[in-house]
Amino acid sequence: MTEHTPHVPSDLTESDPIAISLQRLSKKIQLISDAVKALHQDRNQLEIKIEDAQKRIQHILSRLPEQSDGRQLNLLGEVITTPTPEDDNEPTTH
Is 57 among the domain residues? yes
Q: How confident is the model at residue 64 (pLDDT cuts 50, 70, 90)?
A: confident
Q: Does 4 reside within a domain?
A: no
Q: Would you say 74 and 80 are in contact if contact means Cβ atoms under 8 Å apart?
A: yes
pLDDT in tens, 21-55: 999 999 999 999 999 999 999 999 999 999 999 99
- Answer yes or no: is 46 within a domain: yes
Q: Domain range spanning residue 41?
A: 37-66
Q: Could you tell me if residue 49 is inside a domain? A: yes
**Burial degree of 43 (CB within 10 A; 0-12, 13-18, 19+):** exposed
Residue 8 lies in a domain: no
Kindly tell me if the per-residue pLDDT of 94 is higher than 60: no
Which residues, including other chains, have CB under 8 Å from residue 31's CB and lie 6 or more apart? none
> Does residue 48 fall inside a structural domain?
yes
Contacts of 72 (CB under 8 A, 6+ apart): 80, 82
- Separation of alpha carbons 62 and 56, rounded Å: 10
The count of domains in the chain is 1
To the nearest whole number, what is the mean pLDDT of the chain?
Answer: 79
